[in-house]
Structure 1
C-alpha cells in the first residue's frame, strides 16, 4: 500500500520536479523561459527552443554570469530558479556579455527620456526599474540619477520597487552615501590639482603677462590644436554630456557609466574642438573617464562574484567538486 505524500524521485517530465530556467544562445540577447526536470532535459529542450543544429552536438550548458560549466545534475538542482544558462554548440566558446554581469546599461536603451514626451512616465521610474533588476547598478548611475532617486518620496519609490518603506529608506541612504563619496573624491581631486598648480607656479619663472596668457588660454586652446571647427559636428555626445565635461570639476564622477563609455570612444581631436580645449587636456579627461569606467565595472564584477560565492556556499553540498570554467572567446 502506497502511503500518501511518500517522497520519491521525480521522473523526467513530471511538473512537480520541473525547475524554471532562462536559456539563450551565445552572443544573443533573446532568452527563453524553460522548465526542465534535469540537466539532460534542459539540454534536449535547448536544441528545439534555440534551433540548434543537431550536427553541432553536444551542447554544453554554462552559467550566463561567469561561464561555469554545468554538467552535474546535483549541481543543477541546487541552482536557484530562473538561473540564466547559455547553450554552447560544439564549435562555440562562452563569451561574456555585459548585460549578464550587471552592466546592462551598455546594451539597454538610454534612460534619458523626457518625462513629458508622449506622456511617458517620470524618468525616476525607469531608473528605479534598473535598480530593481540589479541593485548593484547603483555604481553605474550618474549623480543626477542618484540625486533624483534620493529625492523621490519614500512611499512612491517603495511602491515602484515593491519593497517596504524601511527597506527603501535604507536604499535612499545608500544612494546618498554614493553621492557623498563621489563629492569627497571630487574635492580631493580639486585639492590635489590646486596643490600641483601652486607648486608649478612657485617654481615657474615669472612671465611678463601671466594673467593675460591665462585669460586667453581657453579661447586659444582649440586654435592651438590646428583643428577645424567643422570636425565638432562629428561629436555624437549630447549637449548634457558636453556641459558636464566643461563645467563640472572631475566630470567623470558626475557622468553615468554609459556616458563615460561614450566619452572614451570619441575621437580626441573632434572632442577637443567641441569643448574648445587643447588635445592634451582632452586626452587627460578621456583617460580619467576611462579609469572611472574601469573602476565601476570592477566593482560590479566584484559584487556579483561575492554574491555568487555566498549563494553557492549556502546552497551547495560540501562534497561537490569545484566547478569547471568554459573557455572564454577572446573576441
Structure 2
C-alpha cells in the first residue's frame, strides 16, 4: 500500500499526545526512539532520523514483528507505546527479524529471508525460532503451529534448531503427544455436550408427559365423580414393554424413562391381569420402576449443574478458541 508524501493529516505541531515508538530501517540492527503524534509525524521524522533520501518517497511504515502495514491514524493511536516500526522505501519488502519478537539479535545471515522461500517454509522457521528461544512455549503454540513442526523433515528442523536428528525426533514425538492430548480433550468436551443435550431433551419430554398426565387425571376426576370405578383389563403398554417386564430380571434397567413412567401410571390390578401376575408382585415391579425413574431425574439435574459450571469455566478470559482441527498420524 502506497502512502503519498505530504498526505493530509494532523500537523506535527498540533497539541496531541505524543506516542513513543521504536523506528529502524529494514535489515538494520540500529533502532531509534521517536515520539510522534500521528503517522504523518512519524513518517516525517523517519526521513530525518534514518537519513533516508526523500526522493525515495513515499515510505511505508510496517510493524516490525509481522510486517503489518500501518496506514491508519486511528489504528496507530491504538497501538501500545514503544511499538517497533520498520520504514520501507521504494520497492523494499519487509523481512522477518528474530530480534523483533525475542530478546537477542541474531547474525544478519540468519535474519535475512530468502525471497524464494515459500510461505509455508517461512512459517515453520519462525515457529522453530520461537521454540529455540524458549522450549516452554510449546504450551502456547496453536494446534496449527504444532502440526507445522511435526510435518517438517527431521533433518531440516534439526539444522534450524542446531540439534541432532535424534533429539529433534524426540521433540517431534512430544509435539505429536501434545497435539493428540488436545484433540482427545476436545472430543471429550464434544461428547459430554452431546450427552447433556440428549439428557436435557429427555427431561423435557418427561416434563411434558407429566403435565399431560396431570391434566388427564384432573379431567377424569371431574367426569367420573360419583361413578363406581372398576379395574379394567385394558392397558396402554405396548407388547414390547410387557415382554421386557416378563422376561428381564430387572426390567426397570432395560426400559427408557418414558416407558418407566408409563409403567408407574398403570393400574396395578389391570397390569397384573395383563402380565398374569399377582397384584403384590406387580406393585413391587412398579415401585422399582418409580425409583429408577426418580434416580434418572436426579442425574439429569446433576448433569445440568455440571454443564453450568463447565460453561462458566469456559467463559473465563484467556482461553483461545481455535483452531483448525489437527491432523493425526495413523496409528
| TM-score clears 0.5 | no
**TM-score when normalising by structure 1:** 0.33
| Higher RCO by CA contacts (8 Å cutoff, separation 6 or greater) | 1
Task: From the CA coordinates, give the structure whose radius of gyration is larger.
Answer: 2
**TM-score when normalising by structure 2:** 0.33
